[in-house]
Amino acid sequence: MVVEAGKLLAAEGIACRAVSFPSWELFEKQAQAYRDSVLLPEVKVRLAVEMGVSQGWEKWVGCQGAIHGFDRYGTSAPFKTLYEQFGFNPQAIAEKAKALLHKG
């Protein structure tokens, strides 16, 4: 869904990159040069998309970034329904990214 959101942004002429981030612990153990090559220091507007709890992403998105997370307990429905209801679809993510860019 994030890759598709990136394609929507690219179609509008908005440059972006998607980074898969499966382990904070392993990433932190890497050399600073590597970390900077993944999360470019000059890029201040970052959007983390987390289907789980968003706690902890603040460190990686920075003060100009945002987190699109799912911080609820007890919600039950088919996953496609939840995705749509809580904005986990390419269109909603692209819109959130554009809003963040305009804000920043």
Give the chain's count of helices (H) and strands (E). Answer: 6, 2
Residue 96 and residue 87 in contact, taking contact as beta carbons nearer than 8 Å: yes
CA 93 distance to own-chain centroid: 8
Give the pLDDT confidence of 34-84 residue by residue, as tens digits: 999 999 999 999 999 998 888 999 999 999 999 998 877 777 788 788 888
The CATH number of the domain holding residue 69 is 3.40.50.920
pLDDT tier, 104 (very low <50, low <70, confident <90, very high otherwise): low
CA 34 distance to own-chain centroid: 20
Q: What domain range includes position 65?
A: 2-103
**Looking at the 3D structure of the chain, how many domains does it have?**
1
Q: Is the pTM of this model over 0.85?
A: yes
Beta-carbon contacts of residue 9 (< 8 Å; ≥ 6 apart): 15, 16, 94, 97, 98
Give the pLDDT confidence of 9-23 residue by residue, as tens digits: 999 999 999 999 889
